[in-house]
Amino acid sequence: MDPTIFKFVHYIGILTLFFSLGAMFSGASWKKSFGMGHGIGLLLIIISGFGFLGVAKLGIPVWAIVKTIIWLFFGASLALAKKGKLKGLAAWVVIIGLGSAAAFIGLNWKTGKLPAFMVKNLVEKKAE
């Protein structure tokens, strides 16, 4: 199967997840529908993510484990919001920050190695 299909489904899951989280934190009245969207988005993300790893024959690299941990937090974010532990500006900052971190890892951290610019900075610091 073409890995592009898995990426496309992954992106659809991400859009669904963030739409649902945004609606939940905005105080919209259709909480049950947004909760379902949250679960569907998470399901699309995890299935397509591991499907891509299987098709690409990458095994389970470190970056996939880190992204899975971020995925677990996104899963818990709905429960944290309902209990009042995650709300307001803090919720927006945490959700956007973790989403940005997951995007950065997915785009730059390939095959378990650090991105080239990070390695270059580490080498330069050791040389000093």
Residue 114 reports pLDDT greater than 80:
no
Q: What confidence tens digit (pLDDT) does each residue in 13-41 have? A: 999 999 998 888 777 677 788 889 999 99
Q: Regarding predicted confidence, which is higher, 43 or 104? A: 43
Rg for the chain, CA atoms, rounded: 17
Q: What confidence tens digit (pLDDT) does each residue in 51-69 have? A: 999 998 888 888 889 999 9
* pTM for the full predicted model: 0.78
Q: What is the rounded CA–CA span in Å between residue 98 and residue 70?
A: 7
Percentage of residues of the chain with pLDDT beyond 90: 40
Cα torsion angle, 67, 72, 78, 82, sign: negative
Coil, helix or strand at residue 36: helix
Domain boundaries, given as residue ranges, for the chain: 3-127
